[in-house]
Chain A
Amino acid sequence: MNESRAIETEKLGRIYKIRGAKKGEARELVALQDVDLEVRRGELFGLLGPNGAGKTTLIKILTTLLLPSSGRALVDGLDVVTQHRLVRERINMVSGGESSGYGLLTVRENLWMFAQFYGIDHATTYRRIDEMLEVVGLSDRKHTKISDLSTGLRQKTNIVRGFITDPQILFLDEPTLGLDVAAARDARQFVRRWMGRQDKTILLTTHYMVEADELCDRVAIIDRGRVLACDTPASLKRRLQRDAIFHIETSYLSTGGADGFEAIPGVSKVTHRDRDDRTAFEFLLQGEDVLAPVVARMTEKNAKILSLQKREPTLEDVFIDLVGRGLTDGENGSGSGNH
């Protein structure tokens, strides 16, 4: 194994059998296909993709909850299939929207209980609990029963649960799901602070661009079970810097009216979203000079331009460029680029 790598996967694949599939329906679902990833030690690595992209399946394989159908995965140099018991000593995981623990136990008791499942002595456990509850602002609630906590406070407790065992590698699966803006920001700050420690590695899945951009050293963009790109957020965005990105809001254009822009020479990608009485477009153009025919086409369609803004590329733009639809769009989302 390579000492500098915390996680390695090679041609990793996972196929689910669909139970009760009717005649003519697919009997298998390819959740992951030929995934090659390398996460370095001390890195905060993000997996960015829409729902159903395969992020959680990958995390499940790496946390030994699921066997791969093909390929290999090493965590801390250990095979997740044959050495899963050793892998489990080195990792922990937190999922968004978790409701783990027992409502009749207090915050402190719940955290203590989960720490015992990792064999940590009582003194160390209580010291870490008190320190971490202080950091996340839950010190005054440590004797509160879990059943009496709000969803946000409960998720904060879950996040602390993942860190309390001081794992070498931590898997965070949509950890800020369901948290309000302030709580999500606190959680991100907490993660960053923990990452300051030597040799700790985090693999984070998210479909929040800001989270990936703000936290991750490197990001892999995943869709339909395949890794489409893997680099630092800055490098990924740099791929688009030769292009011009415009956000244009017009009076409402029906779906039919919104089509056809991609046929204009120089339009790389276009997505649109209808909001009440207006339509919001995101254009990825090969140059600013392409804007004129785009505006002309809008005028032809009797659309009134309400606002026009040029902006810097984001990870969402990278995603749209790679996948052809927005991260929050469905499988057949509103993107009209290269499907």
Chain B
Amino acid sequence: MEAAITNAPTRPPFKRRANLFWRTVFARSYPRLIGLRREPSWMFFEIALPFLIACSYVFVYKAIGAPQEFIGFVVLGGAMSAFWLNMLWLMASQLYWEKQTGNLPLYIAAPNSMMAILLGMALGGLAATCVRAAVIVVAGSVLFGVTYSTANLLPALAVFLLTMVALYGLGMLFASVFLLFGREAWHTSNLLQEPVYLVSGFYFPIKSLPVWVAAVASLVPVTLGLDAMRQLLFAGGETIGFLPVSIEIALLAVLSVALLFASKWALDYLEMLARREGRITERRR
């Protein structure tokens, strides 16, 4: 066999890679988007569950005569919890399920980037969950008479987007980590779901938690994002904020960058491990 040229290119040109990247992102987001229409039962589940939990907290706050902005906190928290559930069940566990269905080897053997696959999953899941979250916010606001401060609407939207980048970056990182856990992915999702519900303050301000608990909980991007959005969207919100909004935004930005880099590293490591050991892509192992 004649030797291959040692300085031969190892990757396709940038333009071709960019075209492939965005095509892959769109294509992999498609099943999530089409699922909105074809799997209405999921939509009901993802709207009804957070909404009912939010309702129960609203009634508790009403019963104890809590300030009206707490009702708004709960409605917003209910909407944001839909993103947490989506990230955990349809993002973090996804590569494990892709392996089980036999898609994973096809993803790896195709010339696309695995980051594009994960980004497609994230954007598809994000778009679908936005619809669900919007329904919760609108229904909750109308039903319980929640009012918002419109002055900070744009900054709040920016915080939301930043939160989503960090949250789905965490989901992309988890996807690789959960795949390494193998059959434990399902249990890991279960394990993370409830504690994060508690410490992320979906239904109460995290300022109520001990400082060290709130600090640890801030590693979950939705905790900081929700706290900042509450401060921006509700009159008097800043009085019960955990940290000043500017610091929370800075921390979210750091988390976003760190998590995206970490997810890229984890994916590269995973692919290397898959190729070296040959077990990651096999269903039976």
| Chain A positions near chain B (C-beta within 8 angstroms) | 1-2, 8-10, 16-17, 57, 60, 63-67, 72, 74, 77-79, 82-86, 88-89, 91-93, 95, 98-102, 104-105, 109, 112-114, 116-119, 145
Chain A contacts for B23, CB-based, 8 A: 116-117, 119
Question: A66-B278, A74-B4 provided; 4 other pairs, C-beta below 8 A?
Answer: A65-B281, A82-B10, A100-B101, A117-B28
Q: What are 28 A-B interface contacts by the 8 Å CB criterion? A: A10-B1, A57-B278, A63-B109, A65-B275, A65-B281, A66-B275, A67-B275, A77-B4, A78-B8, A79-B4, A82-B4, A88-B109, A93-B109, A98-B102, A100-B102, A104-B38, A105-B30, A105-B31, A113-B27, A114-B27, A114-B110, A117-B24, A117-B27, A117-B28, A117-B107, A118-B20, A118-B112, A119-B112
Q: In chain A, what residue has the closest Cβ to B28?
A: A113
- Pairwise interchain contact B275-A83, C-beta atoms closer than 8 A: no
Instruction: Report how far A9 CA is from B1 CA in the complex, Å.
Output: 8
Chain A contacts for B107, CB-based, 8 A: 117
Instruction: Report how far A84 CA is from B10 CA in the complex, Å.
Output: 7
Q: How many chain B residues touch the partner (CB < 8 A)?
A: 40
- Pairwise interchain contact A65-B27, C-beta atoms closer than 8 A: no
Q: Contact string, B1-32, partner A, CB cutoff 8 A, digits 1/0? A: 11010001111100010011001101110110
Instruction: Report how far A1 CA is from B2 CA in the complex, Å.
Output: 5
Q: Contact string, B88-117, partner A, CB cutoff 8 A, digits 1/0? A: 000000000000011101111111100001
Sort A-B residue pairs by CB-CB distance and give the 4 closest, nearest first: A116-B27, A119-B20, A88-B111, A117-B110
Closest approach, in angstroms, between the C-beta of B232 and any C-beta of chain A? 37
Chain B contacts for A84, CB-based, 8 A: 275
Given A64-B109, A67-B275, A117-B112, A83 and B28 touching (CB < 8 A)? Answer: no
Given A89-B12, A98-B102, A116-B26, A65 and B108 touching (CB < 8 A)? Answer: yes
Q: Does B235 have its Cβ within 8 Å of any Cβ on chain A?
A: no
Closest approach, in angstroms, between the C-beta of A129 and any C-beta of chain B? 13
- Pairwise interchain contact A85-B11, C-beta atoms closer than 8 A: yes
Given A16-B278, A60-B278, A64-B275, A119 and B34 touching (CB < 8 A)? Answer: no
> Which residue from B12, B117, B274 sits with its C-beta under 8 Å from A85?
B12
Select the residue from A16, A101, A113 with max chain B CB neighbours within 10 A.
Answer: A113
Instruction: Report how far A18 CA is from B279 CA in the complex, Å.
Output: 11
Q: Does B284 have its Cβ within 8 Å of any Cβ on chain A?
A: no
Given A1-B2, A117-B112, A118-B111, A67 and B276 touching (CB < 8 A)? Answer: yes
Chain B contacts for A83, CB-based, 8 A: 4, 8-10
Instruction: Report how far A85 CA is from B32 CA in the complex, Å.
Output: 27
- Pairwise interchain contact B30-A8, C-beta atoms closer than 8 A: no
- Pairwise interchain contact A109-B30, C-beta atoms closer than 8 A: yes
- Pairwise interchain contact B275-A118, C-beta atoms closer than 8 A: no
Given A104-B39, A109-B30, A119-B20, A86 and B2 touching (CB < 8 A)? Answer: no
- Pairwise interchain contact B105-A65, C-beta atoms closer than 8 A: yes
- Pairwise interchain contact A109-B34, C-beta atoms closer than 8 A: yes
Count of A-B contacts judged by CB separation below 8 Å:
112
Closest approach, in angstroms, between the C-beta of B76 and any C-beta of chain A? 31
Given A10-B1, A113-B31, A86 and B12 touching (CB < 8 A)? Answer: yes
Given A64-B275, A66-B275, A104-B35, A114 and B106 touching (CB < 8 A)? Answer: yes
> Which residue from B1, B9, B102 sits with its C-beta under 8 Å from A86?
B9
Chain A contacts for B117, CB-based, 8 A: 117
Closest approach, in angstroms, between the C-beta of B223 and any C-beta of chain A? 32
Closest approach, in angstroms, between the C-beta of B230 and any C-beta of chain A? 36
Chain B contacts for A86, CB-based, 8 A: 9-12
- Pairwise interchain contact B111-A89, C-beta atoms closer than 8 A: yes
Instruction: Report how far A83 CA is from B38 CA in the complex, Å.
Output: 40
Chain A contacts for B111, CB-based, 8 A: 85, 88-89, 117-119
Instruction: Report how far A113 CA is from B24 CA in the complex, Å.
Output: 8
Chain A contacts for B1, CB-based, 8 A: 1, 8-10, 72, 74
Chain A contacts for B11, CB-based, 8 A: 85-86
Closest approach, in angstroms, between the C-beta of B120 and any C-beta of chain A? 9
- Pairwise interchain contact B12-A105, C-beta atoms closer than 8 A: no
> Which residue from A74, A77, A91, A102 sits with its C-beta under 8 Å from B109?
A91
Chain B contacts for A63, CB-based, 8 A: 109
Closest approach, in angstroms, between the C-beta of B64 and any C-beta of chain A? 44
Instruction: Report how far A164 CA is from B26 CA in the complex, Å.
Output: 18
Chain B contacts for A60, CB-based, 8 A: 278
Select the residue from B10, B23, B26, B112 with max chain A CB neighbours within 10 A.
Answer: B23
Q: In chain B, what residue has the closest Cβ to A68?
A: B275
Instruction: Report how far A10 CA is from B38 CA in the complex, Å.
Output: 50
Chain A contacts for B28, CB-based, 8 A: 113, 117
- Pairwise interchain contact A119-B101, C-beta atoms closer than 8 A: no
Select the residue from A8, A67, A92 with max chain B CB neighbours within 10 A.
Answer: A67
- Pairwise interchain contact B2-A2, C-beta atoms closer than 8 A: yes
- Pairwise interchain contact B30-A113, C-beta atoms closer than 8 A: yes
Q: In chain B, what residue has the closest Cβ to A88?
A: B111
Closest approach, in angstroms, between the C-beta of A101 and any C-beta of chain B? 7
Closest approach, in angstroms, between the C-beta of B117 and any C-beta of chain A? 8
Q: In chain B, what residue has the closest Cβ to A115?
A: B27
Instruction: Report how far A17 CA is from B9 CA in the complex, Å.
Output: 32
> Which residue from B19, B31, B39, B105 sits with its C-beta under 8 Å from A119?
B19
